[in-house]
Amino acid sequence: MSSSSLLPIVLACDNVPPISTLPLLPFFLSSTSTTPIGHLQLKVWDAISSFTSSTSSGPLFTRVESPSPRIFFSSWCDSVEKRTVALAELSESLRQSGVFKVPLDGWRNETYTIYGPTEECPGEESQRGKTFGRNVAFSLERAACGLFGVTSFGVHVTGYVEGPAEDPTAISVWVPRRSATKQTYPSMLDQTVAGGLTHGLSPLTCVVKECGEEASIPEELVLAPGRLTATGAITYVATAEGGWIQPEVQFCYDLKLPSPEIFKPTPDDGEAEYFELMTVPQIFTHLHASTFKPNCALVMIDFLIRHSFITPESEPSYLEIARRLRRDLGLPGVVGWGAA
C-alpha cells in the first residue's frame, strides 16, 4: 500500500474488528429472534441484569447461555411503547448512578430510533408519517446508544460549488471548522452539514432542519430543483469515547450551492466557527493530515470517489476503501413504508 493511500484514514473511523470476534453479549429483541439488534459489553450487563421497570414486577431482560450467551427483552416487554419507557427508566437510572459517566455525561435529551427485524417489527399503518421506517423496535436516548451497541443513523450533506463554465469539474466544497468548545472533536474540520437522525424525523426532514441550523442555508435553496441529491449511505463501526462500540449509518447528500458571490453558508447554532470554500487539492491535504472529523473524512472520501477525484488508477487501495465504506453491520436496517 502506497504511503499516499487514504485507507488509513478510513480505518481510523471504521476501526472495530468483526463483532463476532469480540467478547460482547448479543442483544436480541425476543427469545425467538435470529438477528441481534445490538451488542453489550459484559460490564454493562453486570450493571443492568437485575433492573426492573416500574411498569412490571419482573426483570427487563432475560439471559440464556444455550446455544450461546445472549440477552433479550423479557416476555412482558413486547411493544415499542413498553420497550421505550423501560429503557428510558433504565438509562436515567444509570445516569443518576454515575456508573457510566462516559457516555452518559453527554446526555442530550434526544432520542434515536432503534430498528428491529421486520418479522418482529412489521409496523402499524397508524404510524405511517410519524416514524421513519416501519420496523421500529423502540427509541433510546442518544447518549445511551453506545451502551447497547445499537445502530445510530445520521445525515451528512456535502455542499459544493461547481467550477467555471470552462471547467465545471473544478468543484470546491464548503468545509466548516468545528467550534473549539465542542464536546467532541473540537476545532476539527466537518461536513458542510451533518446531524443525528432523531426519532420521528426522516432523512430529508433532518437535512432541511440541519441546513438551516448549522449553515443558515434556507429551505427554499435546499429543496430547489437540481440542488439536493441523495447519494446513498455509508456504514461503519467506530470506537467511541470510552471504548464504546458504535455501529453507524450515514445517509449522504450532495448539495449544489450557488457561487460564493451569491451565497455563503454561515454558522447559526454555534456548532462551527466558520466555513471555508476548499478546492479538491486542499481537501486531499487535510484528509492526509487527519484534520477532518473521522466519520466526515469517510463521507468526503465517498464524495471524491463519486465525482471521480479518487479512481482505481489513483488510489492503490481503491477496492478495499470502497468495501469499507459499505460495511455489513449485521444489524437491522431501516425498512421503508413504501407507497401509501
Q: What tens digit of pLDDT does each residue of 324-335 get?
A: 999 999 999 999
Q: Do 289 and 211 share a structural domain?
A: yes
Residues 159 and 124 in one domain: no
| pLDDT at 192 > cutoff 90 | yes
Q: Is the pLDDT of residue 238 over 60?
A: yes
Supply 217's cell numbers.
Answer: 442555508
43, 73 Cβ separation under 8 angstroms: no
CATH code of 47's domain: 3.30.750.160
Measured CA to CA, the distance from residue 101 to residue 84 in angstroms comes to: 22
Cα–Cα distance measured from residue 139 to residue 112, given in angstroms and rounded to the nearest whole number? 5
Q: Whose grid coordinates read 486542499?
A: 282
Q: What is the tens place of the pLDDT at every residue in 212-222?
A: 999 999 999 99
β-strands 70-73, 61-64 pairing = antiparallel
Whether residue 177 is found in the same domain as residue 298: yes
Residue 295 included in any domain = yes
What is the per-residue pLDDT for 340? 56
Q: Which residues of 175-203 are buried (b: 16+ CB within 10 A; e: fewer)?
A: bbbbbeebeeeeebbbbbbbbbbbbebbb
From CA 325, how far away is CA 231, in angstroms rounded? 13
- Largest separation between any pair of C-alpha atoms in the chain: 72
Are 127 and 179 contained in the same domain? no
| Distance (Å) of CA 236 to CA 73, 130, 153, 324 | 26, 27, 11, 7
- Enter the pTM of the model: 0.95
Stretch 100-126: mean pLDDT:
93
Do 280 and 166 reside in the same domain of the chain?
Answer: yes
Any idea of the CA torsion for 69, 149, 16, 289, to the nearest 10 degrees? -170
Average pLDDT over residues 291-297: 98
The mean per-residue pLDDT over the stretch 240-256 comes to 96
The rounded Cα 332 to chain-centroid distance in angstroms is 14
Do 80 and 37 contact (CB within 8 A), yes or no? no
Do residues 62 and 115 both lie within one domain? Answer: yes
pLDDT > 90 in the chain, percent: 88
pLDDT at 339: 62
Mean pLDDT on 119-145: 91
Summarize the confidence of residues 150-179 as an average pLDDT: 92
> What local confidence, expressed as pLDDT, does residue 81 receive?
95
Residue 323 CB: number of other CB atoms within 10 A? 13
Q: Is the pLDDT confidence value at 168 over 90?
A: no
Does residue 190 share a domain with residue 132? no
* Domain that includes residue 88, residue range: 19-148
| 332 within domain boundaries | no
Judge whether residue 300 has pLDDT over 90. Answer: yes
Which residues touch 138 (CB under 8 Å, ≥6 apart)?
80, 83, 84, 87, 114
Q: Name the band, by pLDDT with cuts 50, 70 and 90, for residue 164.
A: confident
Average pLDDT over the chain reads 95
**Phi-psi region for residue 123, left (φ > 0), alpha (ψ -120 to 50) or beta?**
left
Q: What is the pLDDT of residue 270?
A: 84
CB neighbours of residue 281 within 10 Å: 9
**Residue indicated by cell numbers 474488528:** 17
Res 1: pLDDT: 35
Residues 320 and 174 in one domain: yes
The pLDDT score that the predictor gives to residue 243 is 93
The SS3 assignment for 285 reads helix
Which residue, 148, 177, 199, sits at the end of a domain?
Answer: 148
Q: How far apart are the first and last CA of the chain?
A: 50
Task: Give the domain CATH number at 293.
Answer: 3.90.79.10
User: Are 69 and 87 members of one domain?
Assistant: yes
Query: Counting runs of H as helices and runs of E as strands, what totals does the chain give?
Result: 10, 12
Task: Give tens-digit pLDDT for 4-60.
Answer: 899 999 999 999 999 999 999 999 999 999 999 999 999 999 999 999 999 888 999
Q: Is 247 exposed, middle or buried (0-12, 13-18, 19+ CB in 10 A)?
A: buried
Give me 321's grid cell: 476503501
Residues 143 and 191 in one domain: no
Tally of domains in the chain: 2
C-alpha cell at 334: 431501516
- Average pLDDT (196-204) is 95
Domain annotation covers residue 335? no
What is the pLDDT at residue 129?
A: 80
Structure confidence at residue 279 as a pLDDT band (50, 70, 90): very high
Residue 101 inside a domain? The answer is: yes
Position 271 in a domain:
yes
Whether 106 is covered by a domain: the verdict is yes
Instruction: Give 73-90 pLDDT, tens digit per residue.
Output: 999 999 999 999 999 999
Does the structure show a pLDDT above 60 at 64?
yes
Which of residues 130, 148, 166 is at a domain's end? 148
Task: Verify that 129 and 200 share a domain, yes or no.
Answer: no
With beta carbons less than 8 A apart as the criterion, state whether 16 and 238 touch.
Answer: yes
